[in-house]
Amino acid sequence: MSAEAGPVHGDEPAPPLAPEPYGPMPHAPSAPPEGMQRQRLHPLTPLLESVRFLTAVAAAVGIQMFTSRNFLFAIYAALAAAVVGGIASLIALQYRGFVIWGRELHIYGGVFTRSHRTVPLDRLQSVDLVRPLQARVFGLAQLNIEVAGGDGTDAKLAYLKHDRAVELRAELLSIAGRPGAQPRTETAEDSTEDVPAGPEPLVPTVTVRKLALASLLEALPVQLTALLLFGTAFAVTGSIFGFTKVATALWFGFFAPALFGYLQSTVSTVNRFLRNCRFRITRDGGNLLIERGLTDTSHETVPVDRVTAVCFDEPILWRRKNWRRVEVWTAAVSQQISVLKSTTALPVGGPAEVAKVAAEALPELPATFAVQRPPRRARWRMPLRWKRTGALLDEKAFVVRHGWWVNTYVALPYARIQSVQVVQGRIQRLQGLATVHAMSAGSVGHTAKAAHRDVEEAVAMAAELRRRADAAAALEAPRLS
């Protein structure tokens, strides 16, 4: 205690403590009582989770059988794998399961190393229903559970019978106070019985033909550029040193690794196409419900009250068709470093569809923005991107534009801005330029950046951003940022 606090009289009794601490009581997780029956996962869960390992084993056995013509080896290996896998599955199932106790979900797992995870349902953000191809074959599904403020998918329940997964999802959302529409079942789409139609889609269904064309146009520039560079390098070096010698050296040193990356890019494009087939987005209360997938299906929930940013992507060959893709970031997902975890709210769409989805994700957000370019003296720093770079203080959000192959608009709501920085490098200082960074709540690697503005403009922009952010966040209850 400091001297200015006054003397302390030891004879006087201490004042009584308050009956309860001020503010909300901290949440303390409580374990279920011993002996409480756990709900088990499906018996095929260990087998489905090890499908990649089993595929690799089958490939190795097949190669061995083909090269050595030893069919008995393949039979013995298959029997050994079946016995070992069956025993391991039975052991694993004895310790895996979950319990709903009060307002908490307890998930148990592990054989040699036991694990017990507690998911507070008070902080539940969404429960997504996912059906990988190997699970759909057996009528199973998994639940991905996201908690606000977490680092993405905090918990996973895999695998359950599809009907049981739908019921459990509804139960968890009800406990958390976030009731949502039930995902449509695949059998309901094909049956002739009367099934509730559910919410109407916000935009028309993206056709397979349109999605395939969009995927091709997005991947085509990079792949054609790579082939052009490879062909030019081969032709030039071959004419100088001889095609045979150059072909051998380039194949082992350059072309083989490049071909692997080329094939990987192609597979990524195909996977993105399959993931966005049968895309459907609806609005149910305060949530956006997204259903997608051809081989692996998913039912995702995006809470509108936790949207931290909306992005509009324009690949270079989409611009003549006036197509865009809409990505939505939420508070929990923004905390991941990987941008692949953002939610695609529209894989491809025209101006009307983009405007509809944008207004649903962030009320009154326009879909087109008249951003202001950086000054001309900054053009040499980004000669290809200068015309497609800019910033704007819109009525609802701070909007920045960047990129050339894929031109992107990032709209950051003022209420979600957590910090604002003005950064000036050495060369920028000589040019009288500076860059404004606006970071959203919980964002890691996801920053709205107004690059290479005049110093006076950058300082004024940062001050105005901070003023608008404080004013918008003060009106929120509860405050997210």
- CATH number, domain with residue 128: 2.30.29
Asked if 411 and 392 touch (Cβ cutoff 8 Å), the reply is no
Give, in order, the Cα–Cα distances in Å from 200 to each of 150, 211, 327, 346: 31, 21, 21, 15
Query: Domain check: are 179 and 116 in the same one?
Result: yes
Residues 6+ apart with CB under 8 A from 280: 201, 205, 290, 291, 292
Query: Domain check: are 116 and 230 in the same one?
Result: no
Residue 299: CB atoms within 10 A of its CB come to 26
Domain boundary among 185, 218, 236: 185
Instruction: Tell the residue number behind the tokens 């109407």, with chain if given.
Output: 200
Residue 429: CB atoms within 10 A of its CB come to 11
Query: Domain check: are 411 and 451 in the same one?
Result: yes
Asked if 199 and 274 touch (Cβ cutoff 8 Å), the reply is no
* Max Cα–Cα distance, the chain, nearest Å: 102
Full-model pTM: 0.76
Domain membership of residue 346 (yes or no) is: yes
Using one digit for the tens of pLDDT, what is the confidence trace for 383-418? Answer: 989 999 999 999 989 999 999 999 999 999 999 898
Asked if 38 and 97 touch (Cβ cutoff 8 Å), the reply is yes
Q: How many distinct structural domains can be found in the chain?
A: 3
Three-state DSSP state, 449: strand
Domain boundary among 244, 276, 308: 276
Query: Domain check: are 69 and 119 in the same one?
Result: yes
Residues 6+ apart with CB under 8 A from 21: none
Query: Domain check: are 94 and 234 in the same one?
Result: no
Number of H helices, E strands in the chain: 12, 18
Domain that holds residue 357: 299-474
Query: Domain check: are 109 and 239 in the same one?
Result: no
Residue 51: CB atoms within 10 A of its CB come to 13
39-43 long-range contacts (CB < 8 A, ≥24 apart) are 39/97, 39/98, 39/99, 39/100, 40/93, 40/96, 40/97, 41/93, 41/96, 41/97, 41/98, 41/157, 41/158, 41/159, 41/160, 42/138, 42/140, 42/159, 42/160, 42/161, 43/89, 43/93
Query: Domain check: are 321 and 455 in the same one?
Result: yes
Domain membership of residue 193 (yes or no) is: no
Domain membership of residue 14 (yes or no) is: no
**Nearest-angstrom CA–CA distance, 373 and 364:** 24
- Residue stretches of the chain with pLDDT short of 70: 1-31, 35, 52-54, 56-71, 74, 82, 85-86, 148-154, 179-198, 238, 241-259, 332-341, 441-446, 477-481
- Tell me what pLDDT residue 407 has: 94
Element (H, E) at 470: helix 455-474
Query: Domain check: are 336 and 448 in the same one?
Result: yes
- Tell me what pLDDT residue 148 has: 66
Domain membership of residue 345 (yes or no) is: yes
Asked if 341 and 152 touch (Cβ cutoff 8 Å), the reply is yes
- Tell me what pLDDT residue 1 has: 40
Query: Domain check: are 255 and 377 in the same one?
Result: no
- Tell me what pLDDT residue 101 has: 87
**Nearest-angstrom CA–CA distance, 271 and 338:** 17
Query: Domain check: are 175 and 321 in the same one?
Result: no
Domain membership of residue 438 (yes or no) is: yes
The strand order across the sheet containing 417-423 reads: 417-423, 433-440, 447-454
- Tell me what pLDDT residue 20 has: 46
**Nearest-angstrom CA–CA distance, 236 and 255:** 15
Query: Domain check: are 420 and 329 in the same one?
Result: yes
Domain membership of residue 191 (yes or no) is: no
User: Encoding tokens for residue 38?
Assistant: 């756990």
Three-state DSSP state, 370: coil
Domain membership of residue 17 (yes or no) is: no
Domain membership of residue 2 (yes or no) is: no
Query: Domain check: are 360 and 462 in the same one?
Result: yes
According to DSSP, residue 255 is labeled I
Asked if 350 and 319 touch (Cβ cutoff 8 Å), the reply is no
